[in-house]
Amino acid sequence: MKFKKTIFKSSIACIFMMVFSCKSIYNREYTKPLLVDSKLDKNTRILHKKLTYITKKGFAIGHQDPTSYGIGWNKSDALNTIESDVFEVVGDYPAVYGYDISKIELQATLNIDSIPFTDMRDQIIDAYKKGGIITLSWHIDNLTTGGDSWDMTSSVNAIFTNPSIREKYELWVERAADYMKSLEYKGKPIPIIFRPFHEMNGFWFWWGEPNCNSIDYIRLWRETVRLLRDKHKLHNLLYVYSPNKLGPDDDYMKYYPGDNYVDILGVDIYDFEDADDYIKSVVNDLTLVKKIANSKNKLYAFTETGLEKIPTKNWFTDILYPNIKDSGISWVLFWRNANLGHYYIPHKKHENAQDFKEFAGFPKTLFLKDIKNLDY
């Protein structure tokens, strides 16, 4: 009898813990979503919830490599004390920190943008510790030629037809998985928004059109997910599908891997000093992405954007903000500040620095402090 009572009490305790755990995440406003990974860990589920609640307030501001380097400084310089061009201008860090793991597949010490992978790990841990959101892209090298991502030699089909290429592909995914497993804080995996094989409707990558057909692309995406999730047991990834801006004949869903393989929809749109065309694309493409995402109960985001060197006066307040403020995106990611010839966030002496400050002061632009204080 005592044994049965013990089992009964243990069962009640387990049920209570399960109910309590579910209630701590799900509610009437945030019901359990369909996610790629049914074994997704709690912190990553909480991240998904956080992204959902962000859309109720506005959208998170992101920047690529925000604490790695900037205009006139580099984190590898021991004498440098600057930590972020964003912080220098607005007094706060971005809410979303973007990084790229290109070259991890080769076991290189530096990534494609010359950031030591050890430094990147430290920066990701620090960003997460501060309350930041981490997103990773992967400009993976061409598997068949040894060239970089922009080597447009067709290679995807070889993964499925050439045993040696298949072996290399699985090895490279394993190396990426090992690095992502090393991204931990207090012994737990850091939630990652993972955005591989992006801009597939463009011609510039070996996984893009016309270098790869949609059937092979979808198979590549699904097998990559299966390897990361099922073989390497990474249960801290949210997967993002992000085509480039749509041309007149582009089908946003052409390369879509399926609802069971995508957590978040996105789109990359840059302003090439043609504000009218940029605005048209932003409005049209985000409206389409919103419609598709809402029909699938998925989150969506503006996964890459910017105007190189920001020559257009008041670009952030006049061109960008009015056309995304009511879009419903979870975040917008500006590309990196590499040097004076290639940057997308104004440095403190830039003519548009004040404009970016005003942009940061708008009610819907959410930086690090804003999302840390978010009630969700």
* pLDDT (tens digit per residue) in 200-221: 999 999 999 999 999 999 999 9
Angle at 61 between CA 188 and CA 373, to 5 degrees: 60
- Among the listed residues 51, 197, 198, the one whose alpha carbon sits nearest the alpha carbon of residue 133: 51
From the list 228, 104, 230, the residue with the least C-alpha distance to 172 is 104
- pLDDT band at 75; cut points 50, 70, 90: confident
Q: State the pLDDT confidence band at 81, using cuts at 50, 70 and 90.
A: low
Question: What's the whole-number average pLDDT of the chain?
Answer: 93
pLDDT in tens, 107-161: 999 999 999 999 999 999 999 999 999 999 999 999 999 999 999 999 999 999 9
Tell me how far apart the alpha carbons of residues 338 and 113 are, in angstroms, rounded to a whole number: 8
Band the pLDDT of 22: cuts 50, 70, 90. Answer: very low
Choice among 79-88, 250-259, 297-306, 323-332 with the minimum mean pLDDT: 79-88
Q: What is the DSSP string of 90-128?
A: HSS--SEEEEE-TTGGGT-SB-TTS-BHHHHHHHHHHHH
Torsion angle (degrees, nearest 10) of CA 225, 227, 232, 233: 40
Q: Would you say residue 366 has pLDDT above 70?
A: yes
Task: Check whether 18 has a pLDDT greater than 60.
Answer: no
State the pLDDT at residue 79: 62
Assigned superfamily of 33-372: Glycosidases (3.20.20.80)
Do the Cβ atoms of 248 and 45 come closer than 8 Å? no
pLDDT per position as a tens digit, 34-51 = 999 999 999 999 999 999
Share of the chain above pLDDT 70, in %: 92
- Tens digit of pLDDT for each residue in 277-302? 999 999 999 999 999 999 999 999 99
pLDDT at residue 254 is higher than 90: yes
| Token pair in block for residue 32 | 């359990």
